[in-house]
């Protein structure tokens, strides 16, 4: 099912895993639009929690593509470090917001 061909577009063979990889890459890039919007609203540089969540989801999708769709260890490794940093920052954001709420 996931190894079939969805179609050919602009000379690119599109598979289900490639679609997942493209969507993940778009999500990973779109997180900067979320950050820019939050900064504009706040009037100062800020990174909202949704930035880290979108980072994790996009990274997971792209990593899935590299694991099952392409079998590319380099792609997997280049996505694991940013995912680990995003997870760390998300956990810190949750902890600090709880500490402020509990205080």
What's the rounded mean pLDDT across residues 76-98? 92
Dihedral (CA of 81, 85, 87, 88) sign: positive
Q: What is the mean pLDDT of the chain?
A: 91
Domain boundaries, the chain: 16-102
Least trusted range by pLDDT, from 10-14, 23-27, 34-38, 86-90: 10-14
Q: Do the Cβ atoms of 68 and 2 come closer than 8 Å?
A: yes
Mind listing the pLDDT tens digit for each residue in 23-54? 999 999 999 999 999 999 999 999 999 999 99
Cα distances (angstroms) measured from residue 61 to each of 33, 39, 103: 19, 26, 37
Give which of 78, 90, 81, 73 is closest to 31, Cα–Cα.
90
Residue showing tokens 């902890």: 95
What's the rounded mean pLDDT across residues 9-23? 90
**Predicted pLDDT at 103:** 58
Give which of 82, 35, 91 is closest to 62, Cα–Cα.
82
Distance in angstroms (rounded) separating the CA atoms of residues 92 and 78: 22
């Amino acid at each position: 099912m996931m190894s079939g061909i969805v179609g050919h577009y602009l000379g690119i063979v599109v598979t289900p895993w490639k679609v997942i990889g493209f969507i993940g890459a778009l999500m990973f890039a779109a997180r900067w639009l979320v950050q820019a919007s939050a900064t504009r609203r706040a009037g100062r540089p800020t990174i909202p929690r949704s930035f880290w969540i979108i980072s994790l989801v996009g990274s997971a999708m792209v990593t899935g593509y590299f694991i099952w769709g392409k079998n590319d260890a380099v792609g997997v490794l280049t996505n694991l470090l940013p995912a680990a940093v995003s997870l760390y920052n998300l956990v810190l954001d949750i902890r600090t917001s709880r500490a402020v709420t509990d205080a």
